[in-house]
Structure 1
Amino acid sequence: MKHFLIKYRFKTGTREAWHEHIQQFIAWLDSEPDVKGKISYRCMKERDGDGYYHLAAASDEQAIKTLQSKDFFKRYTEESKRVAGGEVEVVPLELIAQTS
């Protein structure tokens, strides 16, 4: 598995519209045959702040490449940059240990 943390501060637009956009992206991940079951995605925000954190995991490099080729991913990436004022950080993570 390949893991990533995507983090940014929400700066532009309405939170409601952005949350709907995130939910739509996750629905596409769950329904798109080429990536269904190969990509895990979770979005969280600071309870009392503007920080957003997305945790993504892909089964392998091919799943990442397939996702990156999809139009819905390209639109989501652009919208992420827009709501973050152009400042989105993607951090590749290395798994050390986990629960069973």
Structure 2
Amino acid sequence: MKHFMIEYQFRNGTTEAWHQEIGRFIKAINADPELKGRIGYRCMKNRDDNSYFHLASVTDEAAQKTLQSRDFFKHYTEMTRQVAGGEVTVTPIEVIDATAA
């Protein structure tokens, strides 16, 4: 399993519209029969400022390539750049240990 953290400061647009866009992206992943159960995605926001953190996980390289080939992924990636004013950091992360839930 591969994990990534996507970080940025929200700079453009309305948070309501952006949160709806995030919801559409997650629904698209869940609705895709080739991706369902192979991609994990979670979005969080710092309560005190405009910092956003997205945690993504993929089961394997094939799932990652399939996701990247989807039009909804390309659209969402571009929208992320727009709301962040072009400054998005994607960091591969390694899980050391975790609870069962």
Equivalent position of 1:48 in the other structure = 48
1:1-100 pair list within 5 angstroms = 1-100=1-100
* Local SS of the residue matching 1:54: strand
How much does 1:73 deviate?
0.1
* Local SS of the residue matching 1:18: helix
How many angstroms apart in 2 are the aligned matches of 1:50 and 1:35?
Answer: 30
How many angstroms apart in 2 are the aligned matches of 1:33 and 1:86?
Answer: 31
How many angstroms apart in 2 are the aligned matches of 1:64 and 1:6?
Answer: 15
How many angstroms apart in 2 are the aligned matches of 1:44 and 1:99?
Answer: 19
Say what the alpha-carbon RMSD is for the aligned residues: 0.6
Extract structure 1 runs of 4+ deviating beyond 2 A. none
How much does 1:47 deviate?
0.4
Counterpart of 1:47 in structure 2: which amino acid?
A: R
In structure 2, the gaps of 5 or more residues are none
How many angstroms apart in 2 are the aligned matches of 1:48 and 1:96?
Answer: 28
Deviations along 1:19-67, one digit per CA (max 9) or x if unpaired, are 0000000000111111111000000001010000000000011100000
Counterpart of 2:38 in structure 1: which amino acid?
A: K
Q: TM-score, normalised by structure 1?
A: 0.98
- How many aligned positions are there? 100
Q: TM-score, normalised by structure 2?
A: 0.97
